[in-house]
Amino acid sequence: MTPAQWQQFKQAALGDGTGDVPLALIVDSPWLPGHLGLNHLDFYLDPDIWFRAHQKIHDEFPGVLFVPPFWTEFGMAAEPSALGAKIKFWPDNTPGETPSLLRVEDIAEIPAPDPERDAFAALTLHRIRMTRERVFAAGSTLPLAAARGPLCTAAFARGTTALMLDLVENPVWAHRLLDVCADFVIAWLRAQARALGPAVEGFLLLDDIVGFLGPDHYEEFCHPLLKRICDAFPARWLKIYHNDASIDACLERLPDAGFHVLNWGKQTPVAEVRARVGRRLCLMGNVNPLEVAVRGTPGQVRAATLEVLANRGEGPFILSTGGGVSPGMPAENIRAMQEALAEYNGRKAAGGE
């Protein structure tokens, strides 16, 4: 993402939705090594391979805004590993985590995680510092930090089923665990901002586990933490929230938490999301990421893209898949999205939309 593309993204996110719609995609290691035929371990461990992989997709799709650009990550290992979860690696897949917090009360015995020193968070920060100037020299900017949210981090450390039971059966300790995770997320985003430097102007927070809760549990366990995270950073920062599970319980509350952009899943049609939030959020979505974007033909992708665009409603909008780019999405389907968007923007500029 060039500095000009970042300005385009910000303008679309904070504008009134009357300008051209951009295409932005969340791409990371579940998709990128497979797309380029790389061994996952090489991608994670060799900074030159990692850099050239990102540069190649920027060259292959110059009109796409990748969010975040040149994302330094080890799958989803950074956050859970800082809380002690065991991480397993494979040459042909993303890392997996084994929960280590067997009793929720054990969080009292775990030192507060330190992103500058602990596990894959520390390695991520070192990689950012190693490669930052090379990324800038290639013409890209690094405007976004990124982190899994507190519910997601807690679920990685505790296990999703165990965490859901904790919320009902042991809420006092569930609150304590989630407070630790929220404080770590803030520290982790701040550490990334220091490593990335003054180009940082926002963050991407990813937390699908929020979608497993109903409205009452969202209000008690989630909303205050999401707001705490947003409030910890400058008001001028752009705050992007990703949740491709259910958004029913949280949707109307996300602007109050402090988010500007929502990337959501395939479950809720764009017209319904727009009707519920109006212009209070920029919607970033929502072409079906698996059945259409991965398994569909370019023609089917084109039709689905035009349908999303036709139903986007009034307000700020960024075209994307309904969540991150899923493993196996072929290049021709990304290009089909680009072509459909170019057609839509052309008609819109001519007054036909």
**Is the CB of residue 118 less than 8 Å from the CB of residue 81?**
yes
Segment 228-240, tens digit of pLDDT: 999 999 999 999 9
User: Which of the two residues, 270 and 353, has the higher pLDDT score?
Assistant: 270
Q: What is the mean pLDDT of residues 293-303?
A: 98
Pairing mode of beta strands 144-148, 202-206: parallel
Confidence at residue 349, expressed as pLDDT on a 0 to 100 scale: 85
**Is the CB of residue 95 less than 8 Å from the CB of residue 88?**
yes
Neighbours of 47 (CB within 10 A): 14
Pairing mode of beta strands 65-66, 86-90: unpaired
Closest C-alpha among 114, 182, 77 to residue 174: 182
Predicted TM-score (pTM) of the model is 0.97
Rounded CA-CA distance 317/247 in Å is 17
Rounded CA-CA distance 305/342 in Å is 11
Q: How is domain 3-349 classified at the architecture level of CATH?
A: Alpha-Beta Barrel (3.20)
Tokens of 342: 């170019």
Q: What is the mean pLDDT of residues 324-348?
A: 97
Q: What is the mean pLDDT of residues 26-46?
A: 96
Confidence at residue 351, expressed as pLDDT on a 0 to 100 scale: 81
Question: In the structure, what pLDDT confidence band is assigned to residue 188 with cuts at 50, 70 and 90?
Answer: very high
Terminal-to-terminal C-alpha distance of the chain: 28
- Mean pLDDT of the chain, nearest integer: 96
Whether the pLDDT of residue 108 is over 70: the answer is yes
Whether the pLDDT of residue 53 is over 70: the answer is yes
Closest C-alpha among 58, 61, 62, 93 to residue 77: 93
Name the one residue in this structure whose structure tokens are 């680009």: 338
Which residues fall within 8 angstroms of residue 198, CB to CB, at 6 or more apart?
Answer: none
Rounded CA-CA distance 244/229 in Å is 20
Question: In the structure, what pLDDT confidence band is assigned to residue 350 with cuts at 50, 70 and 90?
Answer: confident
Whether the pLDDT of residue 353 is over 80: the answer is no
Whether the pLDDT of residue 215 is over 90: the answer is yes
Confidence at residue 199, expressed as pLDDT on a 0 to 100 scale: 96
Sign of the alpha-carbon torsion through 340, 341, 342, 345: positive
3-state secondary structure of 256: helix
Segment 261-278, tens digit of pLDDT: 999 999 999 999 999 999
How large a percentage of the chain has pLDDT more than 70?
A: 99
Rounded CA-CA distance 8/14 in Å is 10
Q: What is the mean pLDDT of residues 168-188?
A: 98
Confidence at residue 348, expressed as pLDDT on a 0 to 100 scale: 87
Instruction: Kindly list the domain boundaries of the chain, sorted by start residue.
Output: 3-349
